[in-house]
Amino acid sequence: MKERKPPTFYAYMVQCADSTIYTGWTTDLTKRIAAHNSGRGARYTRSRRPVELLVSWTFDSKREAMQREYQLKLLRRSEKLQLINLVN
């Protein structure tokens, strides 16, 4: 019997076509970016397509990913850009 791998959770930031930065969390980063770009993602990104992944973090739990998303959403744009530059 195949052992089931526990899901990985991600917090991420994307840059929208209007240069705004959107922050979210997901269990499948590839699918989520595709959803944003097809108009099935967050309401915020629907009119701001296409989006481009800037940075992501992995977590072992949904709670950790959601907490990181919340922390990122509290940052000013300039702080988000500094963080992105540090990570990349």
- Indicate whether 29 belongs to any domain: yes
Which domain CATH number covers 61? 3.40.1440.10
| Residue 21 domain boundaries | 9-87
- Indicate whether 77 belongs to any domain: yes
Q: Give me the pLDDT at residue 67, please.
A: 98
Q: Give me the pLDDT at residue 56, please.
A: 97
Q: Give me the pLDDT at residue 63, please.
A: 98
- Indicate whether 74 belongs to any domain: yes
Number of domains, the chain = 1
Average pLDDT, the chain: 95
Q: How far is CA 45 from CA 6, 28, 31, 88, in A?
A: 29, 17, 15, 23
Q: Residue 39's pLDDT band (boundaries 50, 70, 90)?
A: very high
- Indicate whether 2 belongs to any domain: no
Q: Residue 24's pLDDT band (boundaries 50, 70, 90)?
A: very high
- Indicate whether 13 belongs to any domain: yes
Residue 48 has pLDDT above 80, yes or no: yes
Q: Which residues pair with 11 in a beta bridge?
A: 25, 57
- Indicate whether 45 belongs to any domain: yes
Q: Give me the pLDDT at residue 1, please.
A: 66
Question: For residue 83, how many C-alpha atoms fall within 13 Å in the half-sphere facing its CB?
Answer: 20
* Global confidence as pTM: 0.91
